[in-house]
Structure 1
Amino acid sequence: MSSSSRSNKKAKKGRQQGGFYEAPTHASQILSLSADGRRLRVLNELLREQVVRPEEQHDPEAGAVPGAGDGAPDTLNLPPVGAEAVDGAEGMAVVAKTRAKRYPASDEPLRAWIPYREQYLDEVLRLEGRAWARTTSQCPRCGKAAPSYRCAECTGGDIFCQECVVQIHAHLPLHRIQRWDGTFFNNVTLRDLGLFVRPAHLDGSSCLTCRPGLEGLTPITIIHANGLHVVNLQFCSCVEEERRTLFLRLSWWPATATDPRTCATFFVLKQFHLLNLQGKLTIYDFYKSLELATDNTGLQKIPVSAMTLMVRQWRHVMLAKRAGRGHDSGGIESTTQGGLALKCRACPRPGVNLPADWENARAEDAWLYQLMISQDANFRLKNRLRTGSHEDPWLGPGLAYCVDDVPYGEYVMSLATQEDIRTCSGFAALLNALTRSSKGLRATGLIAVSCRHELFLGKGVGDLQKGERWANIDYLVASAVKGTGVRKIMDSYDVGCEHEKGFFERAVEFPDHIKLDLPKDGWVFVVPKFHVSAHKPECQGAFSPNYVPFSARFDGEHVERLWSMLNPAAPSTKEMGPGARKETLDDLCSFNNWRKTVNLGEQLLKLLVEAIPEAANHKKDFEAFDSKLCRQRPEEVQRWMEMVRVWEQDRRNSPSPFTIVHKAVTRAEVRLRLLAEENHLSANSTASDLEAGPSGFIVLGLEILAAQRNLALQRKEADDSDSALLRIKVQKRLAILLGKVRKFRQLGATYMPAVHASSTSATPPKALTALDVESFAVTLPSDLPSEQREQVCGEKLPRIEDELQYADACDALEDLRHSLRMRTCYNQDKIANVTGQVPNTKARSLQSSVDQAVKNAADRYRRARQAIEHLRGPGAWQDVLRPLLNTDLRQGQASLTRPVSDELAEGLIAYADEHALMETAIAATFEAKWAVVQEKAYAYLNNVPPAGGQDAQAQSQRIEIVQVEIEVASEVENSSDDEGR
């Protein structure tokens, strides 16, 4: 028997009337246009849902639902696994899709759990009583009658007598004990039951120096993860250790070093430590939860001050432990500055992970041993001016990541009056550095230095006293890289273009403990990729990591990503004292470095797997591009390569070949130069005289023309919307425009008296009103015939208008390019992300505004170019300011054309027509095939047997993916009527 016959017989199990399954289908259609714009690709998909009848619902704990795909009988009304592909028309692919296994218990765990929630509730309430032990009348350990004590911490729920429960918990004094009072369990303590602990005799041996019985017991408060405990301790003179030593050997951390009466277990300190590092849980919320764990009423209070001190001590000791200070003979006292910081294992470290002769490496290999760092300021990590360093001392000043405040503060104060010079107007990271609000603050923010693998550098974190100043940045960067031993550093900073200027001059004045031992040519400054676009064009080409040699995929933004780990702790550290804040920041930085170190191998491997094929692809593409460019323009390539070589050898003094030079002038630049010339000609002129000068007259005329056009658009908008507010705005603009027109008429009588006289000689000039300004004719030199222009205007006015109109044309072109790019982005965003009527309406409104901006910029350019053509006539300027066609405004829709011969054109047309005819035949076959499906669907919906009795079940079991190519120009339009029918 063939596989097709077996499939058909198997499929008859779920057959319905008309040969169709009782399962809804979903169709999806994907349209795409071919590269030549002549063919439309239609991708149709029929997707069928997998249906499970109620009577066939599988038990959620039984695992996968049986059916096709796992070898079980096909009890569900679904397509069989063995369905074969059916031959279709040419260009048609038919695919049979198997159904996947379903696991309700894992796919919908909460829905699967709902039937069992009553059982869960019953079992929880059962444990509130004695449960299975209610039938026990004797202690299971000693046999005494009427046992009534159980431990809430131990597993099993056994009920013991008082003596046994005390003996069982001789080494578990921090467990919670409950006593059965006849109707419910009541909480009691092991101390009340007579338990005491001898720290010097944990093995249970007797001691001759201890008092007998319960005499000489000392109550000690113990803070544990399950709440607060009071434990009786009996000390003896058998050992000479101090009490703090005995407590530490019990894994209890004493709150004080002398005669401690409060301790916290190592477990609870470690638990809070992890919760604080990972979840930024505050000590207040943690001890509040411990109070509720002790007694849900919260009446028993935790010694807060003691808990805070123990947490700070624990942090400090754990930091020293991880740094290996316990294995050093000098201990913590001999720790050097930054010695507790966890160092990056992937960054170059001489004597650790570099070859012995790394300093003698070739120039092309030296980049392998460069250190890549980045620094940034964070103004969220403030600190209020509360207690001082005497009341809140710092346990490890400068030993980890935060620098010692004493030398750092002295250096910053010595440069408090230094003025930071800034010349990059494109980015304002340091602008108004002294205007940061610092009232009531000890620190207005934090500066951190990190390596490219996102680890904080030791001695690279410090406070900002008042804004982001060079003194703070210089000290922390020099402190972080001091002692690294590398010979080359790539430094990324938001304003690296400014930081480079004067850095090495300022470095000469650094204190001895941060003096740089790095050559000047070994320090490369860059600007992070995300920030560089906000800088001036000169900075973008010279400082972008995309162009700096040996920067690889270094983006320079890694320190920005570290703030996401520190920022959640900002509310708590803001209120801390100076010592507690620095210890917390050190701890958080160390936690970040440890997590990055653990994941470093996996992360680097992931990047390597991605980089190897990408590097090969980029190399192949570049070589192909470079070889073709060298063949077509060899001289230009050689000239450009020489520019790159010179720039890479001396980046500080050579122009960057990656900087785009904009030669176009702006109206503001022309206006400034003209005003300077007029001011030079008249040394005693005032501001009002300059506004009334020749350039002021031309500028005023151009402003009136622009205002008239804008006013016409606003009036049309007001009339269409019938809004009173818009009409008020129109009237206000009319009043402003009226003043400009009156002033223009006054200046016109001075600079163009012939035109003014000819227009007013017959009748005296009437007073202008707001109704006249919209139609007021502005006459400029470009509006006059060339034979009259020199007589009416002289030589100065035409030259001034020519320069201003040329600048306006250049400005209009820049605005047009910007608007076209915006329109492309808006269109792409709307297609990819916008769905729904309201979002589409908003998106269309944005598109309309951009379309209007494109039109306005194009009109401005055309008017300015027409004026220049009247003033200059034909000339070389027409090669720069070319005629603007409507086809030039279709950004992203332009097509590349190439000249072809008549013979080639005939061949192209013949090939296209031939394939159009073939694709039309494929479409007809496609329509005939689906006509059968349509007939069977009609038969099924109307309970009519299908014609010919053909088995339609096999067809309905298939998921068909049909791909058809249709001639757009001739077939889509012709078939629209057929599709409608």
Structure 2
Amino acid sequence: MVEMHQNLPFHWPEAWVDGSGAGIDPNVWGQEIPLHFGYFKRTSLYDLGLQVGLGHDGLFCPTSHEADTFTMRVLHTSGQHEVRFRTCGCTEKPRWEQLLDVDIWPATELKPQTGFTMEVLRHQRCFSLRGKTSLKEYYDALVDLTSPAEHKDGIPSLYNQFRLAVRQYRVLAMYMRAGKPNGSTPVQKGELCVKCPACPEPGVNLPRNWDLDRMKQLHYVRFLAGDGNFKLQRLAKRGSSTSAGTKSLLGDSGFWVPNSTIKHYLAETSMAADEPLNQKKSACNTMAGDPGYSPEGAKALDVTGIFAVSCRHIFICPNGVVDFHKGEKYRYVDVCFSGPLNHSYAAGLRYFVITYDIACKYGVNFKSRCCTPTCNFVLIPTEKGEINTIFCVNKFHQESHEDGCAAKNALEYTKYVGRTCGEGVETIWAKMNWLRYTTREMSPGHRIETLSEHFNDWNWQKTSNLVRFTKSSYLSAVQSLDVVIEDFENLKNSLGPNTVAQLDACYQASGGEQFLQDSQRLLNLSRQELLSETQAIKSSAIAAQESPSTSRVSHIDLICKALQLEAMQARLRQRAHDLAKIKNPTRELRARVAQLANQVSAALDNHYDLLFEVAPQLAPLVQRSSDPAKDDIFLPSRLSPEDVLQRRVSDLLKVEMQLRIGHAYDCIKELRNALAMRSFWSRHTNSQHSSETKKTKGMSSLQSSTARMKEAARAYNTCYEWIAKCSPESAKKFGLHPLLNSDLSLLTEWQESKVYRRKNNRLPWIWSLRPLAPSDLPDVDKDWEDIATESQEEPNHLDNVVESWRTEIVRLDYIHATAATERWTEEVRILSREMPAICRSFRAMALRWARLANETITAQSSGAGVSTSLSEWSLVDAETRGYVAYASRQFALYVQMTTDATSQFSEVVGAKRWIELWSAPCRDDLVAHTV
């Protein structure tokens, strides 16, 4: 057993135990002992006499003796073990180095008695990063694996040593992954962090002539988003913040802002910078981002929360994290943004978009606080003020701001930002908040190192999925752009060129306030005016039923009367349907329906008489119904194209289509007015007491407006059905579409719920349909033009009110559709530049690791006098060869990532387009370079 486990010292052997070896006193238990008592009991290889040799691949050193041994407690993934090691006498390596050679991390350098396997350190790191489990919980799980029940109290605790070893391993691993294994070269600020490959970084992932691009404010802009978190706190402990041993081992090379910057800036600036004097209070001040906000129990906290800055791709920025000590003070936020801004500005970038919960007030004096040379402490030194910063409110937090504030600081209405949401930091907090109870008890330095490791892992996970995410985002953006362009073109076609030109000129000249409703342009109706308009509508409807139709033109007379007959027949069907619902209808109700049926029957007789007079060749095709409500009201539109030509009624069909188009427009106007009256009456009835809403004039008028709306919708659907059947090109030309229930929306509800600001919620087409002029109809003869002109009535007060609402909502819909088209166009262009930037970043990392490996080989060879040839490479020390092997692995990794990214991106955009993007900016995009 011992010989088989010479290289497996962390197994748990089990030995068979019977009654004699279990330590059970038969005099006490007697007959209670089970028959054939026996079981397997865990033992240890240490008790069996196992010795592990150091320095000879598990074998014993020839110069060592059996007495040259020492015992250690070693923590492994299988539990806590006692292991007897035999040292090697061939070399002068100290004991701790010999332990590292066999992948055991000693707890101390001088005579170590406790160690931890590299496997358990890697295992703990993986569990912590994926599950956010605390170190104490992980260690307790290893204790349970050691002895879940018996003798558990006798296991010595290694938790404190394990905590220190994990901290050391964490920091050294971060240095190793950053290419700084031995500290031979100084570590720069933020150099230990995983950086975003997609964000523009001159000299790394941008083309050589990027600064000559005409659209560099779009293609090479740096997006930064900041947000505070009051969950990741730290409890105040006596002396914990001043002890030298509690400082972070990462220094200024991690995610936190350098302490020197914070101390100098806070010392040189006053508290007035946090909250400018004479600042107008607004609803935006009620948010948690307010400088005066402090969480509950702040007096017992040394750190009340943290503030972090992330990029557009939700990478946490190096030197972009700061601890809060009370509220989101402007000065702490200033130093947090200064790290990423200084790095990008020094590299050559000049355009920045900053999103923040309270950007509406934070960004007002940002340059005067941080960039102006006259500042007490210049956080961001700029040459001649050549820095362009745009401050916007994150999309989710936009709804918490006042309308005026939201419109001026919204990303949807800001140029050169694409579809950036600015809420990426919130997704980071959703994951990092799992560490709130783990880190709040830690020392300041240990807490920073733990959070930095999780931040680095977050960035690396984003790096691993960045190619897939960018590819998916590009495909989605292209599809969305096609949709918004199609919707925008349909909107412009329905409005007409003149209206579009006016709206476009207004859009280009106005600022952010244009995205809000202008109440001064809207007209309203009082209750008395509503009653007057309702009575006028009823009177005009009765007069229209009693007035005879024009008979100036026989063809036109036939179609006009047929359209009136369709309305009468629909009214008959509705009344018959309502009568059928009544259980015991009165004689008077039945008489009314019978009278209407007789009127429809007489009108049908007149219709067919006139039809046979105008087109006698259609008489053999007519099949009348005995029920006037079911008669088909025969017209040329009922015929097939072949029958129209055969019966020679093309001219009559043409007149019918012309009149139906005009009638459809009349129905749309009637529908708008009915919806407007319904909207106004709804607002009046909603303001009444609940007991007054059943039998009032307002409720009766509301029901009447609803009936008018349904009748207008029915009449339009009938017209559209025959137009789409006989002349679909006319329906498309005049902007006629099927009428859906979702199109019957009230303008007041549309505005109050701000539907026009939501994605894929455009204004129903009935409101953007421009009025029909007589000249719009094809081949209109003089008589029909006269009739159309005479039929146009002067707009009444209701028409003016409806038109004011329609014009304002159409304006809102147009400018939001324009902004949506611009943002999706910008998003496609931004993603098109990010794809080659990602490939260049991966390639730069591969070249960096190759350079580090070659520099290490050259330095070692020159220092030891060893040739770089392969034959003498074995003479180089193991540490150097190990680092070169690690650098080679990293080089191969980034080469593979570069190849995969290039393959996927060229596939999604096409080989030709990929060559254009890789060499962008092209010659047409360049500007003359001036010195």
Give the TM-score normalised by structure 2: 0.53
**Structure 1 counterpart of 2:350:** 487
1:545 aligns with 2:545: no
CA distance in 2, matches of 1:460, 1:435: 21
CA distance in 1, matches of 2:260, 2:269: 15
- Seen in structure 2, the aligned counterparts of structure 1 residues 853 and 413 have a Cα distance that, compared at 3 Å, is farther
Q: How far 1:443 sits from its partner (Å)?
A: 0.9
Match of 2:47 among 192, 203, 218: 192
**Structure 2 counterpart of 1:381:** 232
Q: How far 1:853 sits from its partner (Å)?
A: 4.8
- Seen in structure 2, the aligned counterparts of structure 1 residues 518 and 495 have a Cα distance that, compared at 3 Å, is farther
Q: Deviations over 1:99-149 (max 9, x none)?
A: xxxxxxxxxxxxxxxxxxxxxxxxxxxxxxxxxxxxxxxxxxxxxxxxxxx
Match of 2:69 among 217, 242, 247: 217
Q: Secondary structure at 2:515's aligned position in 1? A: coil
Q: How far 1:184 sits from its partner (Å)?
A: 2.0
Which residue identity lines up with residue 351 of structure 2 in the other structure? Answer: K
- Seen in structure 2, the aligned counterparts of structure 1 residues 226 and 388 have a Cα distance that, compared at 3 Å, is same
1:253 aligns with 2:86: no
CA distance in 2, matches of 1:262, 1:207: 26
Does the CA contact (< 8 Å) of 1:392 and 1:580 recur in 2? Answer: yes
Q: How far 1:180 sits from its partner (Å)?
A: 2.0
**Structure 2 counterpart of 1:320:** 175
- Seen in structure 2, the aligned counterparts of structure 1 residues 853 and 280 have a Cα distance that, compared at 3 Å, is farther
1:574 aligns with 2:437: no
Q: Secondary structure at 1:168's aligned position in 2? A: coil
Match of 1:470 among 330, 336, 343: 330
Matches of residues 528-677 of structure 1 in structure 2 within 5 Å? 528-629=394-495, 631-633=497-499, 636-644=502-510, 647=511, 656-663=513-520
1:855 aligns with 2:719: no
1:166 aligns with 2:2: yes
CA distance in 1, matches of 2:721, 2:262: 78
The range that moved more, 354-363 or 422-431, is: 422-431
Q: How far 1:398 sits from its partner (Å)?
A: 2.5
CA distance in 1, matches of 2:163, 2:235: 19
CA distance in 2, matches of 1:283, 1:892: 70
Does the CA contact (< 8 Å) of 2:252 and 2:319 recur in 1? Answer: yes
Matches of residues 315-464 of structure 1 in structure 2 within 5 Å? 315-326=170-181, 330-331=183-184, 334-363=186-215, 366-386=217-237, 387-390=240-243, 391-415=245-269, 417-418=271-272, 419-421=274-276, 422-423=279-280, 425-427=282-284, 428-429=286-287, 430-431=289-290, 433=292, 435-437=294-296, 438-464=298-324
- Seen in structure 2, the aligned counterparts of structure 1 residues 295 and 586 have a Cα distance that, compared at 3 Å, is same
CA distance in 2, matches of 1:506, 1:224: 54
Which residue identity lines up with residue 313 of structure 1 in the other structure? Answer: Q
Which residue identity lines up with residue 368 of structure 1 in the other structure? Answer: H
Q: How far 1:234 sits from its partner (Å)?
A: 2.0
CA distance in 2, matches of 1:202, 1:521: 61
CA distance in 2, matches of 1:443, 1:347: 31
Q: How far 1:530 sits from its partner (Å)?
A: 1.4
Which residue identity lines up with residue 311 of structure 2 in the other structure? Answer: C
Q: How far 1:237 sits from its partner (Å)?
A: 3.3
CA distance in 2, matches of 1:349, 1:343: 10
**Structure 2 counterpart of 1:180:** 16
Q: Secondary structure at 2:418's aligned position in 1? A: coil
Does the CA contact (< 8 Å) of 2:290 and 2:327 recur in 1? Answer: no
Which residue identity lines up with residue 688 of structure 2 in the other structure? Answer: K
The range that moved more, 243-252 or 851-860, is: 851-860
Q: Deviations over 1:468-508 (max 9, x none)?
A: 11101111001122212322111111111111111000013
Number of aligned residue pairs: 533
- Seen in structure 2, the aligned counterparts of structure 1 residues 859 and 369 have a Cα distance that, compared at 3 Å, is farther
Q: Structure 1: where are the runs of 5+ without partners?
A: 1-164, 648-654, 666-815, 824-849, 867-882, 915-981
Which residue identity lines up with residue 607 of structure 1 in the other structure? Answer: S
Q: Secondary structure at 1:189's aligned position in 2? A: coil
- Seen in structure 2, the aligned counterparts of structure 1 residues 891 and 268 have a Cα distance that, compared at 3 Å, is farther
Q: How far 1:223 sits from its partner (Å)?
A: 0.5
Matches of residues 477-876 of structure 1 in structure 2 within 5 Å? 477-484=337-344, 485=347, 486-507=349-370, 508=372, 509=375, 511=377, 514-516=380-382, 519=385, 522-629=388-495, 631-633=497-499, 636-644=502-510, 647=511, 656-663=513-520, 853-855=686-688
- Seen in structure 2, the aligned counterparts of structure 1 residues 629 and 493 have a Cα distance that, compared at 3 Å, is same
CA distance in 2, matches of 1:892, 1:529: 41
Q: How far 1:564 sits from its partner (Å)?
A: 0.8
Q: Deviations over 1:721-755 (max 9, x none)?
A: xxxxxxxxxxxxxxxxxxxxxxxxxxxxxxxxxxx
Q: Secondary structure at 2:317's aligned position in 1? A: strand
**Structure 2 counterpart of 1:307:** 162
Q: How far 1:255 sits from its partner (Å)?
A: 1.3
Q: Secondary structure at 1:318's aligned position in 2? A: helix
- Seen in structure 2, the aligned counterparts of structure 1 residues 643 and 885 have a Cα distance that, compared at 3 Å, is farther
Does the CA contact (< 8 Å) of 1:487 and 1:518 recur in 2? Answer: no
Determine what percentage of the aligned residue pairs are the same residue.
25
CA distance in 1, matches of 2:222, 2:321: 18
Q: Deviations over 1:219-272 (max 9, x none)?
A: 111000111111112224321222222111111111123332211111111111
CA distance in 1, matches of 2:60, 2:717: 108
CA distance in 1, matches of 2:270, 2:395: 31
CA distance in 2, matches of 1:286, 1:462: 29
Does the CA contact (< 8 Å) of 1:493 and 1:527 recur in 2? Answer: yes
Q: Deviations over 1:178-225 (max 9, x none)?
A: 2223422222222222221221233635422x23x3x13211110001
**Structure 2 counterpart of 1:144:** none
CA distance in 2, matches of 1:355, 1:172: 54
1:278 aligns with 2:133: no
- Seen in structure 2, the aligned counterparts of structure 1 residues 355 and 888 have a Cα distance that, compared at 3 Å, is farther
Q: Deviations over 1:366-414 (max 9, x none)?
A: 3011111110001111111122342423111221212233432442354
CA distance in 2, matches of 1:662, 1:520: 40
Does the CA contact (< 8 Å) of 1:374 and 1:493 recur in 2? Answer: yes
CA distance in 2, matches of 1:890, 1:371: 54
Structure that is richer in helix per residue = 2
**Structure 1 counterpart of 2:91:** 239
1:229 aligns with 2:74: no
Does the CA contact (< 8 Å) of 1:287 and 1:302 recur in 2? Answer: no
Does the CA contact (< 8 Å) of 1:820 and 1:891 recur in 2? Answer: no
CA distance in 2, matches of 1:383, 1:439: 11
Q: How far 1:559 sits from its partner (Å)?
A: 1.0
CA distance in 2, matches of 1:614, 1:175: 58
Q: Secondary structure at 1:482's aligned position in 2? A: helix
Does the CA contact (< 8 Å) of 2:167 and 2:446 recur in 1? Answer: yes
Which residue identity lines up with residue 256 of structure 2 in the other structure? Answer: C
Q: Structure 2: where are the runs of 5+ without partners?
A: 19-37, 523-674, 727-931
CA distance in 1, matches of 2:454, 2:691: 56
- Seen in structure 2, the aligned counterparts of structure 1 residues 343 and 895 have a Cα distance that, compared at 3 Å, is farther
CA distance in 2, matches of 1:574, 1:441: 9
Q: Deviations over 1:442-475 (max 9, x none)?
A: 1111101001111100111111111011101111
**Structure 2 counterpart of 1:932:** none
Q: Deviations over 1:807-837 (max 9, x none)?
A: xxxxxxxxx99x989x9xxxxxxxxxxxxxx
Q: Secondary structure at 2:2's aligned position in 1? A: helix
CA distance in 2, matches of 1:657, 1:283: 55
Does the CA contact (< 8 Å) of 1:221 and 1:230 recur in 2? Answer: yes
Q: How far 1:899 sits from its partner (Å)?
A: 14
Which residue identity lines up with residue 180 of structure 1 in the other structure? Answer: W
Q: Secondary structure at 1:166's aligned position in 2? A: coil
Matches of residues 78-89 of structure 1 in structure 2 within 5 Å? none
CA distance in 1, matches of 2:352, 2:442: 35
Q: How far 1:595 sits from its partner (Å)?
A: 0.8
